């Protein structure tokens, strides 16, 4: 019998997963009670607030740590997705908001316990929140977007009661307590492992957990595998029920084809990062189930550096936007597995205050030539177009099509490939002239998108855009308490962006969750990873 490399890798993984399972004794679990995830990414830390934490680490933390609050979920077209407008308690059993929006009072569940069996206290919560706004971590800048900046804002109001105070009624203050960074930590355990140089136990928590969540870390091999066991005392779900799966094994398998093979053979249960080119054939063979969700809180884009010539000229940006081959890029990059953000039928005021939406851009070569001539470049110009090697599977065909299309209007494009780290550095230093990338917001509110991606001199302002009216509107919308006024402010921001074209919205890729046919309850989450707590096996 001839054995190919895929079979060897797949068989090895299956053996490795079986070896990781306890097969006898009081804690034995059946195959049905164990979920096996295979991922191309890696879990590099158990503390999601650490700089450099991978997205897979964010997903793991949602299952190992509780937060004070969580987003609910809802069904859309028969599939489960997170519900940003529905915030429920997780560690908190009651959430009260003052009429002026300046204070939240959160009462903890009286039966909440840490993984070591000790009670969760308001003192633990206060320490955790203080850590998030005080330490050098990913949490502090994120909390700032909800006006959470100082330990003075978090006050113990009695046994099991914590207050959060705001100077202004920030629309996203409470939502920020539901993001992956907002982990609640067993402060007694963390303090035992803190040092004078590391008062928040950041080093220790990278490889150890101190949570109260639905799953307990059993083994952790950074970059390779994590095994979790169910916390039998967990009551933080919306109905107080324990998750279906008693055990979770999440293992890194670098090759997408191998991951697909393992799912089809039943040696693994779930993967969310297969290649778009493999999905159709998987569906046609019918041995696995595919659930596809447009990444509604994200977008792929082509950005212009609005501070560098010739892209500081709005007509140049409009010209290139009119020349881009949108349909061809969507087919070549994603095999049309996603939601287009082009060919919108509106002009002037958008039909909705929701963002991202399909923008009123489409391929029109004659319009592009005319705009380029008006901009003073009738014969075109030369530029570079950059993408990261980590996104090559989708970005390389886009780059080739951009180069070909812009050549038709006299713009000569040199394609530049860089490593992910180089792209991040060049973005931070605002040195990229013309490039493609993607962005995803934890909190899918229109003002938040604009505040994060279109204002201030910071890394995530992809186009280095400096529009005073956008900055003013984003700030107003952030603290707006009148719904009609908020909607008007958001629509104006979208309208200005459509006219000024700092970047071109392309599409929202699908998250294609490929799973065994018996797996149920998968939910598309804002952090684009797996919530094991919702899953079950039929």
Give the end-to-end CA distance of the chain in Å, rounded to a whole number: 35
| Residue 528 pLDDT > 60 | yes
DSSP 448-468: HHHHHHSSSSSTT-TT----H
**Domain spanning 83-188: CATH 3.90.76.10:** yes
User: 272 near 514, Cβ under 8 Å?
Assistant: yes
Phi, psi of 351 (to 5 degrees): -75, -10
Q: What pLDDT shows up at residue 283?
A: 87
Judge if the upstream peptide bond of residue 354 is cis by omega within 30 degrees of 0. no
How far apart, in Å, are the Cα atoms of 214 and each of 58, 158, 237, 241, 401? 15, 26, 8, 10, 46
Domain spans, the chain: 1-65+213-288+516-538, 83-188, 298-510
Per-residue model confidence (pLDDT) at position 3? 33
pLDDT in tens, 335-365: 999 999 999 999 999 999 999 999 999 999 9
Q: What angle do CA 96, 99, 105 make, to 5 degrees?
A: 25
pLDDT tens sequence across 460-470: 999 999 999 99
**Closest-CA residue to 294 (of 83, 80, 508, 76):** 508
Residue 278: band (very low, low, confident or very high) from pLDDT cuts 50, 70, 90? confident
Q: Residue 21's pLDDT is what?
A: 43
Residues 6 or more apart from 309 whose CB is under 8 A from it? none
| Coil, helix or strand at residue 439 | strand
Q: What CA–CA distances, in Å, run from 166 to 39, 100, 175, 479, 480?
A: 40, 10, 14, 11, 14
pLDDT of residue 29: 61
Residue 18: is its pLDDT beyond 60?
Answer: no
Chain centroid to Cα 167, Å, comes to 28
CA–CA separation, 517 and 269 (whole Å): 9
Nearest to 128 by CA among 85, 175, 68: 68
Confidence label for 277 from pLDDT (cuts 50, 70 and 90): confident
Mean pLDDT of 382-404: 96
Angle at which helices 446-453 and 468-478 pack, to 10 degrees? 140
Question: How far is it, in rounded angstroms, from Cα 94 to Cα 89?
Answer: 6
pLDDT category of residue 138 using cuts at 50, 70 and 90: very high
pLDDT interval class at 139 (50, 70, 90): very high
Q: Other C-beta atoms within 10 Å of 110: how many?
A: 10
Least confident interval from 4-18, 89-103, 232-246, 276-290: 4-18
CATH topology (fold) of 298-510: Dipeptide-binding Protein; domain 3 (3.10.105)
512 pairs with which residues across the strands?
Answer: 292
Round to whole Å and give the CA distance between 238 and 259: 32
User: pTM for this one?
Assistant: 0.89
Q: pLDDT of 122-136, one tens digit each?
A: 999 999 999 999 999
Taking alpha carbons only, the member of 477, 467, 457, 472 closest to residue 497 is 467
Q: What is the CATH number of domain 1-65+213-288+516-538?
A: 3.40.190.10
């Amino acid at each position: 019998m001839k054995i190919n490399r895929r079979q060897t890798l797949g068989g090895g993984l299956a053996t490795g997963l079986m070896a990781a399972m306890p097969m006898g004794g009081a804690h034995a679990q059946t195959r049905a009670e164990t979920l096996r995830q295979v991922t191309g990414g890696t879990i590099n830390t158990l503390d999601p607030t650490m700089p450099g934490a991978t997205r897979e680490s964010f997903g793991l933390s949602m299952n190992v740590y509780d937060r004070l609050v969580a987003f609910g979920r809802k069904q859309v077209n028969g599939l489960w997705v997170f519900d940003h407008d529905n915030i429920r308690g997780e560690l908190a059993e009651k959430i009260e908001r003052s009429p002026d929006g300046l204070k939240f009072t959160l009462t903890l569940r009286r039966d909440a316990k840490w993984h070591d069996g000790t009670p969760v206290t308001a003192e633990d919560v206060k320490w955790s929140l203080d850590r998030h706004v005080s330490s050098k971590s990913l949490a502090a800048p994120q909390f700032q977007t909800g006006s959470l900046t100082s330990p003075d804002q978090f006050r113990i109001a009695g046994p099991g009661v914590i207050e959060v105070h705001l100077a202004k009624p920030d629309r996203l203050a409470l939502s920020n307590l539901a993001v992956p960074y907002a982990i609640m930590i067993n402060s007694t355990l963390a303090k035992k492992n803190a040092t004078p140089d590391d008062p928040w136990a950041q080093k220790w928590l990278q490889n150890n957990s101190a949570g109260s969540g639905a799953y307990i870390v059993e083994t952790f091999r950074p970059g390779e595998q994590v095994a979790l066991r169910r916390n039998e005392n967990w009551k933080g779900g919306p109905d107080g029920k324990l998750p279906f799966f008693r055990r979770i094994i999440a293992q890194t398998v670098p090759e997408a084809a191998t991951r697909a093979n393992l799912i089809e053979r039943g040696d693994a249960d779930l993967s969310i990062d297969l290649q778009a080119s493999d999905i159709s054939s998987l569906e046609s063979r019918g041995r696995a189930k595919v659930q596809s969700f447009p990444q509604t809180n994200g977008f792929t884009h082509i950005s212009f550096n609005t501070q560098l010539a010739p892209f500081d000229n709005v007509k140049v940006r409009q010209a290139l936007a009119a020349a881009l081959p949108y349909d061809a890029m969507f087919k070549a990059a994603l095999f049309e597995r996603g939601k287009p953000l082009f060919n919108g039928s509106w002009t002037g005021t958008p039909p909705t205050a929701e963002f991202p939406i399909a923008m009123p851009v489409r391929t029109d070569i004659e319009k592009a030539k005319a705009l380029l001539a008006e901009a003073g470049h009738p014969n075109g110009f030369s530029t570079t177009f950059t993408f990261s090697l980590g996104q090559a599977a989708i970005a390389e065909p886009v780059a080739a099509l951009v180069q070909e299309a812009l050549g038709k209007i006299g713009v000569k494009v040199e394609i530049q490939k860089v490593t992910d780290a180089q792209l991040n550095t060049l973005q931070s230093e605002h040195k990229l002239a013309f490039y493609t990338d993607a962005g995803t917001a934890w909190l899918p509110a229109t003002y938040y998108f604009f505040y994060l991606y279109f204002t201030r001199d910071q890394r995530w302002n992809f186009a280095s855009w400096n529009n005073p009216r956008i900055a003013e509107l984003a700030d107003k919308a952030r603290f707006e308490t009148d719904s009609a006024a908020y909607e008007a402010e958001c629509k104006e921001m979208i309208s200005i962006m459509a006219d000024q074209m700092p970047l071109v919205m392309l599409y929202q890729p699908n998250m294609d969750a490929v799973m065994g046919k018996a797996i149920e309850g998968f939910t598309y989450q804002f952090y684009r990873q797996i919530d094991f707590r919702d899953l079950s096996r039929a």
